[in-house]
């Protein structure tokens, strides 16, 4: 699979590319230039196999979906602004020299600011 691709939806040839941040739900004819950070196939019943992507534009802007952005923003504004994340059922690794965390069959859990002794000791370092 190529590491860079263009996603294009019915745009004219002379239309400029826009950043991911500037996309709005009403935009159905915009073009963005993105690279694939991660891709995987998933079996969904009914419907069969789907191909999922994590994409980033030229500014390395990515989108967080759902209410995760609000939860993380709220956690950053609490206490001293330090956020501790605990990942369960995830696998750390490297891809092209960069650290990544892989999901384990959609079973991974991310706990924000866990109240366990190990997390408290980490904060005190």
Q: How far is CA 86 from CA 25, 29, 48, 118, in A?
A: 33, 40, 32, 10
Q: What is the mean pLDDT of residues 59-80?
A: 67
| d(C-alpha 83, C-alpha 62), whole Å | 20
Tally of CB atoms within 10 A around 17: 16
Q: What is the mean pLDDT of residues 50-58?
A: 69
| d(C-alpha 64, C-alpha 73), whole Å | 12
12 or 59, which is more confident: 59
Q: Grade residue 14 by pLDDT with cuts at 50, 70 and 90.
A: low
**C-alpha of 122 from chain center:** 25
Calculate the average pLDDT of the chain.
70
Q: Which residue ranges make up each domain of the chain?
A: 1-62, 64-125
pTM, to two decimals:
0.44
* Bridge partner list, 35: 4, 56
Q: Position of tokens 């980033």? A: 56
Give tens-digit pLDDT for 96-118: 787 777 776 667 777 888 889 98
Contact 101, 94 (CB under 8 A): no
């Amino acid at each position: 699979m190529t590491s860079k691709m263009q996603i294009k939806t019915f745009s004219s040839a002379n239309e400029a590319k826009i950043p991911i941040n500037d996309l709005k739900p009403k935009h159905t004819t915009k073009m963005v230039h993105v690279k694939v950070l991660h891709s995987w196939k998933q079996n969904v019943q009914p419907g069969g196999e789907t191909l999922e992507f994590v994409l980033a534009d030229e500014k390395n802007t990515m989108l967080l979906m759902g209410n995760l952005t609000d939860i993380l923003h709220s956690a950053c504004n609490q206490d001293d602004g330090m956020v501790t994340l605990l990942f369960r059922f995830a696998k750390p690794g490297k891809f092209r020299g960069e650290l990544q965390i892989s999901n384990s069959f959609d079973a991974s859990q991310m706990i924000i600011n866990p109240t366990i002794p190990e997390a408290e000791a980490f904060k005190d370092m």
